[in-house]
Chain A
Amino acid sequence: MATHLIVAEHTGGKLVKATLAAVSAAQKVGGTIHAIVLGQGIGDVAAELAPFAATVHTAEHPGVKDRAAQPWAKVIADAATAIGATHVWAAATGAGKDLMPRVAIRLDAGMASDISAVVNDSTFKRPMWAGNITGTVAVSSATKVITVRPTEFAAPAAGAAGTIAAFAADPGASKMSFVSFDAVVSDRPALSDARVIVAGGRGLKGPEGFKTIVEPMADVLSAAIGASRAVCDAGWVPNDWQVGQTGKVVAPELYIAIGISGAIQHVAGMKGSKCIVAINKEPEAPIFQVADYGLVADLFKVCPELTEALKAAKA
């Protein structure tokens, strides 16, 4: 019987929803599900996870107050050993990618990164080569560490009445420490949670293009804003907005790509969107190969028109 340990990610005293994708994936394997929450003042996060776990272990210790991969990995690996975990899971977010390989090697475990499907208790599917290829990977170590692509797993079934138990955390000596976090302040929905994303590329010509074209459309749709690598590199928008192979993977109900060519590295991050609209003046732009609706036009001409029409349609 499998024993799972789900590593909770949280921010601002709340569970990061992507963690539930890891729960879903563990439920597909079956067995007993445990979760662990690290930090201080984490009672609410533990309570959010209780419906999905037999036991939620809370590891409160000054040494893990802020997330840092080295002390966190030790505590998680200790907990995994203590409960005899066969599988240790986390969401394949920036934080999960930073942290989980350390947990894996501490446990002498093989790791499957960013999985898109569970085949059985030791076999998983995952995108490779920017999603050009889906690989099936078999993990043969006794303990397996897996990060889960949040967009590929539906919400898990709740229903457990998990007990919350303190875990005696010993973070050990750490050679690294958290210093500060400079958050991108925005009152828009987060890219990972948004129902609609309006994304812009180099076709917008500059940061002004985002202000005058993308933002008004996003306002009308209550959308998050995404971007291609090119415009993040150029400093037009925050790096955190990058969608793609090496940025964020998103799958909203509606993704509107404006002035984005559709390089494979970008498409890797958004092709799972339910409905894709592309606006590009170049009829051969590769973005049209993944778009449900393509509009070949000058974005500066049609986007203001589209924003007005969307406003009218929503009214």
Chain B
Amino acid sequence: MKFLVTVKRVTDYEAKIKLKADKSGIVTDGVNMIMNPFDEIAVEEALRQKEKHGGEVVVLSIGSSDSVAQLRSALAMGADRAILVKNDGELDANGVAKILQKIVEKEAPDVVLMGKQAIDDDNNQAAQMLAELLGWGQGTFANTITIDGGNATIVREADGGLETVKCSLPCVITADLRLNEPRYASLPGIMKAKKKPLDEVELSSLGLNTTLKVKVVGYEEPAAKQAGQKVPDVATLVHKLKTEAKAI
């Protein structure tokens, strides 16, 4: 069974995100960059499925050569090889989905595993778009994945409970937080990762039109919430909730 897992380089979820003085974007100098946490869960899931079913785990990133670091992290976790589609420009989800489609057509995986959203742009679009371009089924926000007999059964974190859907293979699945707990890379894993194959593909070689349909034209910091007050005790709290906030 072949798994293709996407990996995006994003700002650390613990980093303090600040706007540049000219508001042209966020400050990235000195900000730690990590593998998107949901992608890390997707990598882990592919590794576990491979342990069960055998096969290969290929990780894929689209971005500048800096993304090699995140691909190496995935290789250190245990992925077999990596592909970097090199691109320094801006992309929207439509463009990302079209690039992924090209790679999927070449690699022919049984399952594409992706994070449910990237924690920088919070778009939550590319995986669903990819599934549609390929004409495949999708299991988004996966909590549990069972693969057997040419199907994937996905228990999804839906509003109001857990939904189960069934997709024939190949399909696209996106990882939610509780799918698994990603392993830490071992020292031998990190050493081995340095020697694993990492192919670079120039975006321009794919012959795609990725003209932006969605462009971020402005960034601002949301209005800061007025700092509130500390109350000394329960009686004061209830009194203020009743008379000041009129919330009860």
Cβ contact within 8 Å between A70 and B131: yes
A112 to B212, CA, bound (A): 12
B216 at the interface (CB under 8 A from A): yes
A127 to B221, CA, bound (A): 10
A166 at the interface (CB under 8 A from B): no
Cβ contact within 8 Å between A293 and B231: yes
Q: A175: nearest residue on chain B (CB-CB)?
A: B137
B177 at the interface (CB under 8 A from A): yes
B117 at the interface (CB under 8 A from A): yes
Cβ contact within 8 Å between B120 and A254: no
Cβ contact within 8 Å between A134 and B132: no
Cβ contact within 8 Å between B124 and A113: yes
- A interface, how many residues as a size bin? 35 or more
A125 to B140, CA, bound (A): 25
- Smallest beta-carbon distance A187→chain B, Å: 14
Cβ contact within 8 Å between B230 and A294: yes
Cβ contact within 8 Å between A113 and B125: yes
**A-B pair number, CB within 8 angstroms:** 260
Cβ contact within 8 Å between A133 and B237: no
Cβ contact within 8 Å between A140 and B215: yes
- Smallest beta-carbon distance B227→chain A, Å: 6
Q: What A residues does B214 contact at CB under 8 A? A: 110-112, 137-140
Cβ contact within 8 Å between B160 and A294: no
**Chain A interface, >50% SS class:** mixed
A290 to B11, CA, bound (A): 23
A10 to B33, CA, bound (A): 40
A196 to B235, CA, bound (A): 19
Cβ contact within 8 Å between A240 and B159: yes
Which of B49-57, B62-70, B166-174 is found at the contact surface with chain A?
B166-174
A127 to B122, CA, bound (A): 8
- Smallest beta-carbon distance B115→chain A, Å: 10
Which of B97, B122, B218, B238 meets A245, CB within 8 Å? B122
**Chain B interface, >50% SS class:** mixed
Cβ contact within 8 Å between A233 and B178: yes
Which of A11, A134, A221, A283 meets B222, CB within 8 Å? A134
Chain B 78-100, CB-CB to A under 8 Å as 1, else 0, gives: 00000000000000111001000
Cβ contact within 8 Å between A181 and B158: yes
Q: What B residues does A229 contact at CB under 8 A? A: 177
- Given A101-B124, A313-B248, answer yes or no on A70-B225 (Cβ-Cβ < 8 Å): no
Cβ contact within 8 Å between B230 and A132: no
Cβ contact within 8 Å between B219 and A134: yes
Cβ contact within 8 Å between B94 and A110: yes
- Smallest beta-carbon distance B140→chain A, Å: 5
Cβ contact within 8 Å between A102 and B92: no
B208 at the interface (CB under 8 A from A): no
A99 to B131, CA, bound (A): 11
B145 at the interface (CB under 8 A from A): no
- Given A102-B129, A184-B161, answer yes or no on A271-B225 (Cβ-Cβ < 8 Å): yes
Cβ contact within 8 Å between B164 and A102: no
Cβ contact within 8 Å between B247 and A97: no
Most buried by A among B125, B137, B164, B167: B125
- Given A94-B159, A274-B247, answer yes or no on A176-B94 (Cβ-Cβ < 8 Å): no
Binding site for B on A (CB under 8 A): 11, 68-70, 73, 93-95, 97-102, 104-106, 108-114, 123, 126-141, 174-184, 190, 192, 196, 221, 229, 232-233, 238-240, 245-246, 248, 253-254, 264-265, 271, 274-277, 283, 288-296, 302, 305-306, 309-310, 313-314
Q: 17 other contacts beyond A137-B214, A140-B213, A181-B161, with CB at 8 A cut-off?
A: A101-B129, A101-B132, A102-B128, A104-B129, A105-B128, A110-B214, A127-B122, A129-B119, A133-B222, A141-B213, A175-B135, A277-B237, A291-B228, A293-B231, A293-B240, A313-B248, A314-B248
Give me 8 A-to-B residue pairs in the complex whose CB atoms sit less than 8 angstroms apart, sorted by A's number: A129-B26, A135-B121, A139-B214, A232-B178, A240-B158, A276-B228, A277-B241, A309-B235
